[in-house]
């Protein structure tokens, strides 16, 4: 057996033993033989956070303080707005339907046609309705002709009654003088009663004639109304959403002739949450932006008094001029309703942070450069930054380094120009 490979194996085994089982002794021996001072651990600047116990005193060397970037901000009065998602709706939309039956005898109008109020949409075949009207008018004339006869009968009955009353009075006087008998007086009184009954019959005949006139006039009005129903007209100006009924279509009561929509003005309809309900007022200015990029403006004309049972939101309507009819019903729109102005600060979105309780806010510094967390209310997000409310009128806001400091820490700030 060769001695060299054997010695080499012994040396390797010994080295492995020392590295595995006697590692700490080996390291200690190496350090004692090379007494070089180990460097002090340095905290990672990106992850270490300075606590209030380690905060440097106010008279500390600035080179020992945490450096941050801050901005001196002055509050600006900005117009706050309630942002809603909604849709456009026609000011009016109605389906004009037939009120009677008949065949359509008019040429149809194409959908998209603009019609004025009173324009003809559908015309139905009159059939025998004109004959029914003529018959009703004839009955009216006949009933009106009975009135003079009834009036003449009343006049004749009145004359007979007066004559009978005179005869009764004469007979009574003659009876009292003994010239005539009581039998003759009774006979005269009976004739007077008969004359009175005749007058009552004549008056009843007059009332019947007048009733006949009213019935005949009602029949004429009904026949004329039935003929009017043959012409179906536009109730208001607008666009035909559907084509009118085709020529030869058999219409029944309730059958649709056409659908008309009025798009000027057009409505923007949104739903405001109950937390913002009091921020929206009637007559408030409002704007909208369609998905096409078109911007429109109008005024709030309606706010619902009752919330939707499912969403707990309130319906808001805004009227917008649409004389060119370019805005259609059913388009998606983003609505901004103007509200009272509010003092706010415009800061970079990156300046926002959270406290230990999860509240949204910013970290500020006072005149002695001491850090303080202040909660804020986010009003609006813009391309230039975010508008925040809830801060003092003048405040120094940390924009870079706010994540590495806490309340009570003194910092070395570098100020940048405020946004505005």
Contacts 24+ apart (CB under 8 A), 188-197: 188/164, 191/164, 191/167, 192/161, 192/164, 192/165, 192/167, 192/168, 194/164, 195/157, 195/160, 195/161, 195/163, 195/164, 195/165, 196/161, 196/164
pLDDT at position 254, please? 94
CA 209 to chain centre: 58
Q: What is the pLDDT of residue 101?
A: 94
**Count of CB atoms within 10 A of residue 323's CB?**
8
pLDDT of the residue at 7: 65
Q: Which residues make Cβ contacts (< 8 Å) with residue 48, sequence separation at least 6?
A: 404
List every span in the chain annotated with CATH 2.40.30.170.
Answer: 51-86+263-420
pLDDT of residue 48: 40
Q: CB burial class (10 A; 0-12, 13-18, 19+) of residue 394?
A: exposed
pLDDT averaged over 10-residue windows placed end to end, the chain, 420 residues: 64 65 58 46 41 49 79 84 90 94 94 93 93 90 79 78 78 72 74 78 78 88 93 94 93 95 93 88 91 92 92 94 90 88 87 91 93 90 87 93 90 79
- Structure-block tokens of residue 78: 């900005």
For the chain, give every residue range classified as CATH 1.10.287.620: 129-228
Phi, psi at residue 167, to the nearest 5°?
A: -60, -40
Q: Beta strands 411-416 and 66-74: pairing type?
A: parallel
CA dihedral over 275, 276, 282, 287, signed as positive or negative: negative
- Identify the CATH homologous superfamily for domain 129-228: Helix Hairpins (1.10.287.620)
**In the prediction, which pLDDT does 16 show?**
66
Please tell me the class of the 51-86+263-420 domain.
Answer: mainly beta
Structure-token pair, residue 76? 């600006």
CA 19 to chain centre: 80
Whole-number Å distance between alpha carbons of 129 and 409: 97
Closest CA to 102 of 253, 296, 209, 260: 253
Q: How far is the CA of 80 from the CAs of 17, 74, 280, 281, 346, in angstroms?
A: 76, 17, 11, 13, 13
* Beta strand ranges found along 76-142 (DSSP E): 76-97, 102-103, 114-115, 120-123
- Rounded to whole angstroms, how far apart are CA atoms 269 and 331? 10
- pTM recorded for the entire structure: 0.53
Residue appearing with tokens 């408030």: 284
Contact status, residue 377 vs residue 392, Cβ threshold 8 Å: no
């Amino acid at each position: 057996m060769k001695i060299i490979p054997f010695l080499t194996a012994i040396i390797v085994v010994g080295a492995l033993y020392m590295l595995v089982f006697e590692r700490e002794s080996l390291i200690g021996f190496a350090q004692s033989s090379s007494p070089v001072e180990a460097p002090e651990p340095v905290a990672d600047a990106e992850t270490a956070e300075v606590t209030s116990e380690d905060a440097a005193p106010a008279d500390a060397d600035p080179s020992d303080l945490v450096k941050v970037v801050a901005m001196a901000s002055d509050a600006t009065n900005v117009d706050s707005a309630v942002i809603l998602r909604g849709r456009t709706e026609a000011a009016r939309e109605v389906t004009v339907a037939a009120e009677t039956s008949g065949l359509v005898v008019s040429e149809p109008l194409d959908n998209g046609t603009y019609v004025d109020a009173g324009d003809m949409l559908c015309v139905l075949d009159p059939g025998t309705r004109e004959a029914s009207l003529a018959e009703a008018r004839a009955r009216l004339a006949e009933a009106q002709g009975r009135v003079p006869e009834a009036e003449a009968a009343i006049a004749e009955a009145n004359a007979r009654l007066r004559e009978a009353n005179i005869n009764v009075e004469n007979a009574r006087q003659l009876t009292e003088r003994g010239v005539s008998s009581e039998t003759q007086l009774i006979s005269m009184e009976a004739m007077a009663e008969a004359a009175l009954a005749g007058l009552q019959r004549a008056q009843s005949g007059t009332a019947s004639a007048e009733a006949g006139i009213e019935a005949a006039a009602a029949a004429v009005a009904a026949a004329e109304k039935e003929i009017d129903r043959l012409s179906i007209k536009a109730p208001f100006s607008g666009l035909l959403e559907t084509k009118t009924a085709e020529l030869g279509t058999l219409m029944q009561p309730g059958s649709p002739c056409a659908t008309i929509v009025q798009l000027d003005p057009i409505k923007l309809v949104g739903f405001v949450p109950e937390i913002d309900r009091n921020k929206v007022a009637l007559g408030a200015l409002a704007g909208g932006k369609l998905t096409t990029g078109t911007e429109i403006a109008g005024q709030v004309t309606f706010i619902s008094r009752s919330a939707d049972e499912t969403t707990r939101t309130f319906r808001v309507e805004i009227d917008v001029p649409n004389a060119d009819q370019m805005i259609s019903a059913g388009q998606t729109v983003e609505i901004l309703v103007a509200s009272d102005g509010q003092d706010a600060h415009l800061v970079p979105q990156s300046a926002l942070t959270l406290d230990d309780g999860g509240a949204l806010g910013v970290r500020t510094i006072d005149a002695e450069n001491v850090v303080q967390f202040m909660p804020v209310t986010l009003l609006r997000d813009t391309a230039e930054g975010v508008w925040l409310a809830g801060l003092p009128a003048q405040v120094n806001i940390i924009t870079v380094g706010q994540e590495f400091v806490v309340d009570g820490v003194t910092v070395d700030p570098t100020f940048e120009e405020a946004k505005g």
